[in-house]
Amino acid sequence: MSCPAKQSSVPPVDFEGDPMTIVYTLGFTAIVIAISLGYRKLWTAYWDHRIGPLGMRRIGKQGDRNLSREFAKEYQKSDEKTVGKDEWRVEALFDYPIKSTYPIEVQESVVQAHGFEHDRQFCFAQWYEPTPKGGEEVNKSPKEEPEKGTTAWWNLRPHWTCLTQRKVPRLTLVKTEIWVPDPHSRDYDEEDEYVKSGGCLVVKFPFTPSLNPLNIWSVFVARLVTWNWKSELTVTFRVPLNPTSSQVREKGYASDKFNIFMDYPSGLNMSSEIPGQTWKQLRYALGLSNRLALFRLDLTKNRNLYKCAPNEEQLDYQARLSYQDSYPLSIQNMSSIMATEEECLKKKLEIKFTPDSRRYRGNIYISGPKPFDEDDWTQIQIGDHKYHVSCRTTRCQLPTNDPDTGILTMKQNEPQNWLKKNRRIDAGSDAGCLGMQMVPTKEAIGSVIRVGDVVKVLRRGEHLYVTKPDPEFQRPVL
């Protein structure tokens, strides 16, 4: 048996004679590392973009909007044959978790005394400082001190005031997600802080800094994740959905008052949940310089509603609301919206008017009634439950804001101009009206409204709008 041939050793590679080999090797290594890190960053961004908090499920309708067919000609006019019949139905439902931000469309929603379960539970506010007018001293006492708690009294003092698209149109670019605990998820953990608080509110807004070598890769990844090469970076933060009393104490959420028009409700200041850098980015994205805060509805301090709502004796409970402008629920008739927008489309406008029912920020959108049939409703039934229709929805310039771009077309001011000219139908207000405001009956509290529910009118009557929120101005039901 012969021995195997002796293997000669491989001579060492002499790099000194081939410097390009070193360059190629280092370059190839750098590319491999960059691809690995890039893949990890891209996948992490994609995962967070698509999946969200662990152990949770997302609330809301995904994919096409229920009202996507509103642009079809056959949908823009009510079928007269359906008026007064059971073909009146709920077409779409919307929550607005943070007041005046982009909506979440849902297939169903639980009705609470203060509105839909997740509707306007949060509100951004900015710090207001009184400023001198016409050379006057800012702290100069007025001849007569305004009554404490009135708007005039508050205007003389620093305070928080809510943000809305009326003055900050880019709020529509702030998007939210509601995530609630999912016991069936393999990642579900009863001790998780978000599980204890009943869920998590995810808030996202666009932010693009000045490009530099340090952030150009992040901008590229953001655009790759969304498959939109015009996309901005997305900044994300999360807050507990409904913190428990122990969480409120542990995290030091202070209860404070802030202004919503003529009202000054209390709220839990949850600003400490948001990093300082994120606040700076949000102010930049919204075009603001004042200090901002995020308030959550304080469920221990009801925001009572009077105005045109039924009184406590009639309802068998005290009407209340979250951070809505005036009432807990709003309803929109699609044929009324289409009739309004058809008139706007007839005008020769510098900026083309884009019909979009989301401009009107209703909770409930229905089909079936003829245009403006809703003007004299006083009680309706949705599904199996009844609702008081308290007053008409008076319109400001907010519907002139494009819900997708945040461009407020004040110059042409449509549909505001058309509404003020043709829909000033309420003796209690000089504003144009479109839509109705509602209060749930006691029996409706805890029920669920679903897309497809039948809508019936039970009573009709007169309306007279009331502006002031104080109980002494409450109007008896007409």
**For the chain (length 478 residues), average pLDDT per consecutive 10?**
50 56 72 62 48 88 76 50 66 98 97 98 95 56 70 85 96 97 94 95 89 61 59 88 94 94 94 96 95 95 96 97 97 96 85 87 97 98 98 95 88 90 97 98 98 97 95 85
3 state DSSP class of 373: helix
| Residue 133: predicted pLDDT | 59
| Residue 216: predicted pLDDT | 62
Other residues' Cβ atoms within 10 Å of the Cβ of residue 83 = 15
Closest listed residue to residue 359, CA positions, set 305, 300, 409, 431: 409
| Residue 69: predicted pLDDT | 62
C-alpha 318/C-alpha 283 separation (Å) is 37
Domain boundaries of the chain, sorted by first residue: 62-117+305-473, 122-128+151-297
| Residue 43: predicted pLDDT | 47
Q: Which residues pair with 393 in a beta bridge?
A: none
| Residue 425: predicted pLDDT | 98
Q: Which two tokens stand for residue 139?
A: 């702290």
- Contact status, residue 157 vs residue 127, Cβ threshold 8 Å: no
Rounded to a whole number, what is the distance in angstroms from the first to the last CA of the chain? Answer: 116
C-alpha 59/C-alpha 190 separation (Å) is 19
Residue 165, amino acid: Q
pLDDT tens, position by position, 56-72 = 999 998 877 888 666 55
Other residues' Cβ atoms within 10 Å of the Cβ of residue 76 = 17
pTM for the whole structure? 0.84
| Residue 132: predicted pLDDT | 66
pLDDT tens, position by position, 143-178 = 677 777 777 888 888 999 999 999 999 999 999 999
H-helix segments, 310-456: 312-315, 334-346, 416-422
Q: How far is CA 421 from CA 93, 370, 431, 432, in A?
A: 29, 20, 9, 7
CA atoms within 13 A on the CB side of 179: 24
**Inter-axis angle of helices 19-50 and 216-226, to 10 degrees?**
50
Could you tell me how far CA 26 lies from the centroid of its own chain?
Answer: 50
Q: Just give the CATH number of 62-117+305-473.
A: 2.40.33
| Residue 468: predicted pLDDT | 92
| Residue 30: predicted pLDDT | 73
Q: How far is CA 394 from CA 192, 286, 306, 326, in A?
A: 43, 26, 17, 10
Cα angle 27-29-35, degrees, rounded to a multiple of 5: 100
